[in-house]
Structure 1
Amino acid sequence: MLTRPSPDGGATETALTRLAQMLGPRVSRAAGVLADHGRSEAYHAASPPDLVVFPETTEEMRGIVTICRDLRLPIIPFGAGTSLEGNASAPHGGVCIDMSRMDKVLATSPEDMDVRVQPGITRKQLNAQLRDTGLFFPIDPGADASIGGMASTRASGTMAVRYGTMKDNVLGLEAVLADGRVIRTARRARKSAAGYDMTRLLVGAEGTLGVITEVTLKLHPQPEAISSAVCAFPDLKSVVGTAIAVIQSGVPVARIELLDAVMMRGMNLHAKLGLPEAPHLFFEFHGSKGSVAEQAETAQALAGEFGGQDFAWATAPEERSRLWQARDNTLYAGLALRPGARALVTDVCVPISRLAECLVATAADIAESGLVAPVVGHVGDGNFHLLVLHDPASVEEVARVKAFNERLVRRAIALDGTCTGEHGIGLGKIDFLELELGETVDAMRLVKQALDPLGIMNPGKIFRSSAQMGGAR
C-alpha cells in the first residue's frame, strides 16, 4: 500500500513550477487552501493535498494530468467537498484539482431534453439556469453538490424513487484519462448498443479511472403541480409497510422519505417543525393538479391502513420549501441532539422487502450499543442513512461506533443488500466492498490497472492501491 510522500519533495516543486507557468495564480500551496481541500463532511481524518489547482478548460485539465503523469503525482478531483466517505481526500498527497471554475452550461437542447455542462456546476446552479426552459434536473442528494462529484459517486437522493439515480440520468461524459487522452463516452442519442458502456464505468468510479471534464445530462419536465405531505406512524414496520403499499399500488410518488422518532426530535430542535416525535413519512407528488390530488389521496388511504395519523398537506410553495429544507438539513438536525458531537454518516441499501427487518434489527443494535443514531431513509428504494453521534476524542466511543457501523453493513449484505446506496466506497468501505462483491473486485482492479497503470488517479479509494508511484519527491 502506498505511503504518503513528503510534501516538499522534488516532484512537488517541479510540478508547482510547471503548473504555475500554465495556470498562473490558479495554483496554490497556501496552508489554508490545502486544509480546505483535505476535509469534507466525512468522519475520516483530514488529508490535505500538496498543491491545489483551479482549471477552467478541458485543455488545461489535460495539461495538469500530463504533468502529474510525468512526475508520478497523485491526482484528486474535488467538487463541492460534500462527500461522506473520504472520496476526495488526499491520503497520498499530490495535486487536488478543484472544479469550481469549470461551472458553465455548455449547451442546452430543450427539444431533446438534455444539457451539457462542466463538472463544477452545482445542481442548484444548474436548475436556476434551466428555469426558463420548463425543464429541470431532479437528482437531489440533499447537499448542493457539484454535477461532476455526483457523477463520480453515482449519487441519487430523495427523488430517485421516481427519476432514478445519476447512472440513469447521465447520457455521456468527456474525461481525461491518466495518460492525457481526452475521451467522449457517448453521443447524445437516448440509447446505444455501441460497445462497452464507458459512461457507466466512469459514473461511480470516484475519479479513480479519469477526470470528468463534461457531463451530458437527461432533463425532465417541470411538474405542473407539486404537493407534499407528512404522516406519523406508530413504528418503523408501519412506515415501511406503507411505502411498499404506495409503490406497489403504482402511485408515481416523487419522494417518500422515512425519518425515525430520534431524527424527528432533532428536526424539531433544529427547524422548529412542531411535529410528533414518532416515525414519519414525508411525501412529495408531481404531476397535473388532478393527478397530484389523486396520488395524495391514495397515499393517505394506504397510510391509514397501517396506522398512519395526522396526515398533513403542504401545497403552498413556502410550506413545501420549509418541509424539504428541514429534510435536507438532517445532518445539522441530528447534531442538535448532542451539541459538540461529530457524526459518522453512513448508509446501506437493501431490497425493500427486507427493509423493515433491517431497520428493526438496526434500531435494537443502536439501543444495545448505547448510541444516539437518528435514521433518515429513501424508503422507496430501500436506502437509509444513520448519523451516529460520538465524541471524536473518546477512543472507546469511536471504537464502539465503528463496530456498530461494521455490524450494520454486514447486516445489510446478509440481506442481499449493499454496503452503500449512494455515498460511494472512498476510504471508508474498502473492506466491505470485498465482502459484498468478492472476486468482482479483482476484475475492478484489472480495469484500474489498464486505464491507470501508474496508480495516480485518486489512489487509495474504492480498493487499496497496489501500484507504486516512483519518481523524485
Structure 2
Amino acid sequence: MALKAIKAGSRNETGITAALQLLNARFGDRFQTGEAIRAQHAHSTTYIPAQLPDGVVFPDSAQEVEAIVAIASEHGVPLIAFGTGSSLEGHINAPHGGISVDMSRMDKVLEVNASDFDCTVEPGITREALNVYLRDTGLFFPIDPGANASIGGMASTRASGTNAVRYGTMKDNVLAVTAVTAGGRQIRTAHRAKKSSAGYDLTRLFVGAEGTLGILTSVTLKLQGIPEMIAGGVCAFPSVGDACNTVILTIQSGIPVARIELLDALQMKASNAYSGLSFAEAPTLFVEFHGNAESVALQSRQFAEIAAEFGSSPFQWTANTEERNALWKARHDAYWAQKSLAPGLAILSTDVCVPISRLADCVEETHEDIAAHNLIAPIVGHAGDGNFHVGLLFDDKNNADIATAEAFVERLNARALAMDGTCTGEHGIGQGKMPFLQAELGDTLDLMRQIKRALDPGNIFNPGKIFNM
C-alpha cells in the first residue's frame, strides 16, 4: 500500500502558469490561489498526505465549467472537481498540480417531477439540502453516506450508505447526468425514462468515474415517497458472528429492512462515550423499517424472532422521531467516535465488501487479525449488503506503526478478494486503493485505460486516481 510513498507527479509548469493567468482574468475573486484555501481543497479526513492544487475556481454555471475545461484542455492543466471534501481515499489531491473546481455555488434544484418520482439538480447541492427542498412534495432522496456530501461527489464515487440495503446505491438512483468533457464540450448521457435500451450506458460510466472522465454539471435522480411510518431499534449479540448471521438470515428471509448496521463491541464503547448513549458494549445491530404501521410492526416482530435465534438481547424499537434521530446521529458520528478512543493517533478508515453469505466469515477473520496484532480498530458496517468499515488507529509518525497499519489493510483487502468480494464497497479507489484494484481486476484495468484515453486524451481530469496511465 505504502501511502507515504504516494509522490507528486510531473507538473506542466508552463501550462499551469498560463491557466492561472487566464482563470484569474476570467473569474476575479472567484479564483483563489492562497495557500489556506488550496490546503482546504486538498484536505483528506484520512491518512493520505495532502497534495495541494495551484488554484481554486468557483463556477456559477455549466457554461463557466465549459470555459474552465476549455482553458485546461488548451494548456494541458489538471482539473480536480471538488464537492464537500468528505471522500476518504485521496480523491481530491492534486499530485500533478492544477486547478480545483469547487462546485459549491452550483447548488440549485433545476427540476422536480413529483409525478414521475425524479428530480434534476446541480452537482454542488448536498443531500441534506436536497431533502429539505423536497420535504413538501412528500418525496425524498434516500442515499445516505453519512457525511453531508454533495450529489455530484456522491455520483462520482458511486456512494451508498445506510439505506443501500433497501434503496440501492448511486448507480441505481441516477437516471442521467450532464458532464463537460475534454475540450469544453457538454454532453447528456440519457433522458428521464426509467428504462432505455438506447446505446451504451454512459450514465453508469460517469457514475463512479471519480471525476476522471469529465466534470458533472447536473444529475437526474430517482426519488422515493416518504414512508408513512419509520421505526428503528437496537439489539446486542454474544458475538460478531451471531450479529452477522442475523443479518444474513434477515436478508435471505426477504424482510424489507431499510437499514441494518453492524457496530462491534469497541465501536459501541466509542459511540456510547462520544454520543452519550448507554447501550451494552457488545456487537450490536441498528435496524430501521419503512412502511405503514402494520407492515413496520410485522417486520419488527419477524426481525426480533430471527435475532433471538442467535442469542440477541430483546429488540428495542421505536417510531419516535427524536429517539431514532439520536440513534442514527450516533451511527453517522462513528468516525469521530473512533478518533476519540485515542485522540493522539491518526486514523485510517478503510472498507471492503463481500457477498452477504460470506459477511460473518470476513468480519470474524478480521476481528481475529485485529486481536492477533494488538490493533485498535473498531468495525462498523452496512451489514445488509456485505459492506463493512474498519477505523484503524495508529501513530503515523512511527515507521513501525505505519508498516503494521499498511500490512493490516493489505490483509483485509486480500481476505475480501479471496471471498469474491471487492476492495471497496463505497469509498472508491482514489489514490489509496489503487494497488488493490489492480489485484481485483488485473488486465481489465487496460480496458479502463483505453476508455480514459478516448474520453480524456490529455489526461486532465483528476489524473493519478483509480489507476496509473
TM band (smaller chain): over 0.9
Select 2:211's aligned residue among 207, 219, 227: 207
Alignment-derived partner of residue 3 in structure 2: none
**Structure 2 regions of 5+ residues with no counterpart?**
1-5
Residue identity (%)? 56
Distance (Å, rounded) in 1 between the aligned partners of 2:370 and 2:393? 11
Number of equivalenced pairs: 464
Matching of residue 21 in structure 1 with residue 25 in structure 2: yes
- 1:126 paired with 2:130, answer yes
Secondary structure of 2:171's partner? helix
Instruction: Report the equivalent of 1:136.
Output: 140
Q: Structure 2: which amino acid aligns with 1:402?
A: E
Query: Are 2:181 and 2:213, in contact at CA under 8 Å, matched by a contact in 1?
Result: yes
The offset of 1:368, in angstroms, is 1.2
What is the 5 A alignment of 1:447-466?
447-465=451-469
1:64 equivalenced with 2:68 (yes/no): yes
Partner residue of 2:419 out of 403, 415, 418: 415
Mapped partners of 1:2, 1:445: distance in 2: 21
Q: Which amino acid aligns with 1:168?
A: D
For residues 315-342 of structure 1, the C-alpha deviation after alignment (integer angstroms, 9 at most, x for no partner) is 2111000000000000011111112212
Distance in 2 between the 1:246 and 1:10 partners?
59
Structure 1 partner of 2:197: 193
Instruction: Find the residue that maps to 1:254 and give its secondary structure.
Output: strand
Partner Cα separation in structure 1 for residue 212 and residue 386 of structure 2: 27
Output the CA distance in 2 between the equivalents of 1:314 and 1:79: 35
Amino acid at match of 2:288: E
For the residues of structure 1 that align with 2:366 and 2:99, how far apart are their CA atoms? 40
TM-score, with length taken from structure 2: 0.97
Cα shift at 1:3: 5.0
In structure 2, which of residues 244, 254, 259 is the aligned counterpart of residue 240 of structure 1?
244
In the alignment, structure 1 residue 275 sits paired with structure 2 residue 270: no
Matched, 1:251 2:252: no
Q: Distance in 2 between matches of 1:183 and 1:22?
A: 23
Aligned to 2:450: 446
AA partner of residue 111 (structure 2): A
Indicate conservation of the 8 Å contact 1:47/1:89, yes or no: yes
Q: Distance between the aligned counterparts of 2:337 and 2:285, measured in 1?
A: 17
Is the partner of 2:56 in helix, strand or coil?
strand
Specify the code of the residue in structure 2 equivalent to 1:214.
S
Match runs of 1:1-400 below 5 Å: 3-5=8-10, 9-400=13-404
* More displaced stretch, 339-348 vs 142-151: 339-348
Measure, in 1, the Cα distance between the counterparts of 2:194 and 2:363: 37
1:438 Cα deviation (Å)? 1.3
SS in 2 for 1:111: helix
Matched residue type, 1:170: V
Matched letter for residue 338 of structure 1: A
Q: Is the 8 A contact 2:7 2:95 kept in 1?
A: no
Q: TM-score, normalised by structure 1?
A: 0.96
Q: 1:272-318 CA distances to partner (integer Å, 9 max, x unpaired)?
A: 11100000000000000111111111111110011011321232111
The Cα offsets for residues 225-263 of structure 1, whole Å up to 9 and x where unpaired, read as 000000000001111111111112211100000000010
Structure 1 letter corresponding to 2:395: D
Long gaps (5+) in structure 1: 466-473
Q: Distance in 2 between matches of 1:3 and 1:255?
A: 40
Is contact 1:2–1:92 with CA below 8 Å preserved after alignment?
Answer: no
User: SS of the counterpart of 2:314?
Assistant: strand
1:22 Cα deviation from its structure 2 partner:
2.1
The Cα of 1:432 is off from its aligned counterpart by 0.8
